[in-house]
């Protein structure tokens, strides 16, 4: 588990803030970042994310819309149903 902050859009985690860096999930909706950002893990064992550095944030006018698009591309988690156990 990570120990910093998560950014949510529509109830889904779309990015993480760790060590003063923004880590955006790598999905087709965030492909625009491929040319602009390095990739890295926000914490040990995590999947790779795009790393958006502080200096890049002011130049990325489309970032808020992209994060919403990332949320739309992430599928809803299936709710677990409780099973009744027969005693």
**pLDDT of the residue at 52:** 95
**Model pTM score:** 0.81
Domain ranges of the chain: 5-73
Chain segment 25-40, per-residue pLDDT in tens: 999 999 999 999 999 9
Strands (E), 5-61: 5-9, 12-18, 21-25, 38-40, 49-52
CB distance 47 to 41 below 8 Å: yes
């Amino acid at each position: 588990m990570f120990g910093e902050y998560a950014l949510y859009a529509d109830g889904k985690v779309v990015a993480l803030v760790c060590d003063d860096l923004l880590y955006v999930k790598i999905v087709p909706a965030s492909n625009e970042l491929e040319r602009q950002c390095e990739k890295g893990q926000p914490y040990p064992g995590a999947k790779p994310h795009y790393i958006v550095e502080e200096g890049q944030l002011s130049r990325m006018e489309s970032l808020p819309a992209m994060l919403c698009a990332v949320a739309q591309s992430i599928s809803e988690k299936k709710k677990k149903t409780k099973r009744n156990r027969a005693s």
